[in-house]
Structure 1
Amino acid sequence: MCGAILTSPFDVVKTRLQSNLFRQKHPHPALNVLTGGVGSVVSAPRPINLLYNFVETGFIIRDIYREESFRALFVGLGPNLVGVVPARSINFFAYGNGKRIIADKFNDGVENSWVHLAAAAAAGIATGTATNPIWVVKTRLQLAQSGGAVLDGSVACVRRILREEGVRGFYKGLSASYLGVTEGTIQWVLYERLKALSAAATADGTVARWAGMLGSAGAAKFVASLITYPHEVLRTRLRQPRVNGVLKYHGLVQTLRLVVAEEGARTLYSGLSAHLMRTVPNAAVMYSIYEGLIRWAA
């Protein structure tokens, strides 16, 4: 919860960059982000330099603060806080128990990489299915334009989705979430491997051991995000609201083809810098707390 609050501005930037509703293409190298009222455009120069994307994130946070308000940097935080606790609880519970059950039933009680992989995949599917409605509401709130009007609250957003799209509207992007199970799977497998290597290289109970655990968690998240990030963009597009009554994105494959055809393959990594700035520190702290609580409870 603390991580979600502190990194909310990065989450808002990431969601907006992933959405075509807040991006306009121009023949010159510039990134345009709609941040104010209807028709308001804030532009930041975009050199062909991936490292500049991290600086660009800072520019966009500044522009959102100037054009909309400080509060706009925390839009969607309510659903995020509501979702982050059950999502992490389900994921850690399903993974921790899953790897034990799979190892006991199918591998003579021995854990290895394939046991970790199977447990992580099962945990990802369970988490995605259970919490998808919460993330749909969060995405809709973050993509709402203020335009001088008060942004819808979570309850109003839920009512609108039910009225216009029915219950199925809460499961938009679920196919992309299932595709994203690969991220959690890679993350858990890498984390277990890096943690084991770190533990072997440091003495038990030392500061170096905990530093190695922090580094293992952060590195695992970083690598997993780089490999699987396009599913995040596809998921956001699928969760976008109708524009003038028209739903542009209908399915996973159709969305992928349309995004690449209209905006290029590079668009599949829009918002990556903000995503990494938000999730890597979060993962490092969260996994360390998880390990610490397990050791304390034991």
Structure 2
Amino acid sequence: MSDSVIHSISGAAGGIIAMTATYPLIFLSTRAAVETKKEDKSAYQAVLDIIKREGILGLYSGLNSSLLGIAVTNGVYYYFYERSRGIILKSRGGGKGLSALESILTGVIAGSATTIISNPIWVVQTSQAVRTLNAPSIDSSQPKITVEKLGFLDTIQNILARDGLGAFWRGIGPALVLVINPVLQYTVFEQLKNFLIARRTNKLRAAGAATALVVLSDWDFFFLGALSKLIATSSTYPYIVMKSRLQAGQASALKYRSSLHGLLTILKEEGVDGLYKGVGSKLTQSVLTAAILFAGQRRIYEMSKRAMGTV
């Protein structure tokens, strides 16, 4: 089994673990990003409202498609990333680290392939997450309306019947723009990792270790993954809002003629706050997910290599 495939499987497994641990935060940020009403509601109040209306399992609506999505996304991304990385390093020889420009190129290749392949899954997940969004709250004076929750296959059938096959690529424009998110994440991660290794190597050599070999710990990967994702998500969040609204397929997003027009429309109608709805829970979720993913993927990768006797 090739190294790229092992990285791919490890990335998919690490992503499933991270997604399961942080899914309620994804659910909350998706709901907030799609919501167009101006409501001053804390994350705590939003959780209480969802639990009252849909039960505790309401916080996990769309989890099945999210787990499939993250497995496919991470599997494809890690495969193309490691494959591209290997080709670049082999072509030029020299050290094992990528330069900033090489990291960006590798990330663009991996991110573009991943976005095109996985977009239909995220359309299904977003549709599941926001399906009960417009149901009356528990304190509403309107008659109680029960909105049926749909499973993964039922949601696919519903989207096909209502909007056709092309609907599975809703939001592909901002999704491709958002390739910059993992590009930033992995570029920052790679450069921070190289910096940390170089710094510790120099310290060891200064202390008299002629053949110093630095190995980063799980905690190193955890914190480097968290910091790199914090920078990436903070920089690209307005496009995350735009992508979520388009993928949800709600009427309010039909008026957006393009991603730029959508951003300007949100800015005009909802202010700057509209571009950052749900940013708190999204940042928390993204940072935790990335930290768990980077640490978990590395550990699973090393265990897989040892199991096959290649380490």
**TM-score of the superposition, structure 2-length normalised?**
0.79
Q: What secondary structure sits across from 1:149 in the alignment?
A: coil
| Structure 2 unaligned regions, length at least 5 | 1-15, 136-144, 205-212, 306-310
Correspondence for 1:140: 127
Looking at structure 2, the residues matched to 293 and 155 of structure 1 have their Cα atoms a distance apart, in angstroms, of 30
Q: What secondary structure sits across from 1:239 in the alignment?
A: helix
Correspondence for 1:221: 229
Residue among 282, 289, 293 paired with 1:286 = 293
Looking at structure 1, the residues matched to 250 and 235 of structure 2 have their Cα atoms a distance apart, in angstroms, of 30
Q: CA deviation at 1:225?
A: 0.7
Alignment of 1:151-166 (within 5 A): 151-166=149-164
Say which is worse superposed, 217-226 or 256-265, in terms of deviation: 256-265
Q: Kindly provide the amino acid, as one letter, of the partner of residue 58 in structure 1.
A: Y
Looking at structure 2, the residues matched to 210 and 133 of structure 1 have their Cα atoms a distance apart, in angstroms, of 33
Q: What secondary structure sits across from 2:248 in the alignment?
A: coil
Correspondence for 1:81: 67
Alignment of 1:12-91 (within 5 A): 12-20=27-35, 23-25=36-38, 30-31=39-40, 44=41, 56-91=42-77
Contact 2:99/2:191, CA 8 A, preserved across alignment? no
Residue among 156, 178, 181 paired with 1:180 = 178
Correspondence for 1:235: 243
Contact 1:120/1:188, CA 8 A, preserved across alignment? yes
Q: CA deviation at 1:265?
A: 2.4
Q: Are residue 97 (structure 1) and residue 112 (structure 2) matched?
A: no
Looking at structure 2, the residues matched to 104 and 180 of structure 1 have their Cα atoms a distance apart, in angstroms, of 28
Correspondence for 1:47: none
**TM-score of the superposition, structure 1-length normalised?**
0.82
State percent identity of aligned pairs. 23
Correspondence for 2:18: 3
Looking at structure 1, the residues matched to 232 and 295 of structure 2 have their Cα atoms a distance apart, in angstroms, of 18
Contact 1:199/1:212, CA 8 A, preserved across alignment? no
Looking at structure 2, the residues matched to 286 and 247 of structure 1 have their Cα atoms a distance apart, in angstroms, of 35
- Which of 1 and 2 has greater Rg? 2
Residue among 189, 195, 206 paired with 1:197 = 195
Deviations 1:105-130 (A, max 9, x none): 3x445531211110011111011000
Deviations 1:148-193 (A, max 9, x none): 1321222222112112221110000111111101111010011011
| Structure 1 unaligned regions, length at least 5 | 32-43, 45-55
Looking at structure 1, the residues matched to 220 and 44 of structure 2 have their Cα atoms a distance apart, in angstroms, of 29
Deviations 1:203-242 (A, max 9, x none): 7677x73322211111000111111111100101111234
Residue among 125, 142, 151 paired with 2:112 = 125
Contact 2:128/2:150, CA 8 A, preserved across alignment? yes
Looking at structure 2, the residues matched to 219 and 293 of structure 1 have their Cα atoms a distance apart, in angstroms, of 21
Over the residues paired in the alignment, what is the CA RMSD in angstroms?
A: 2.2
Contact 2:18/2:290, CA 8 A, preserved across alignment? no
Correspondence for 1:275: 282
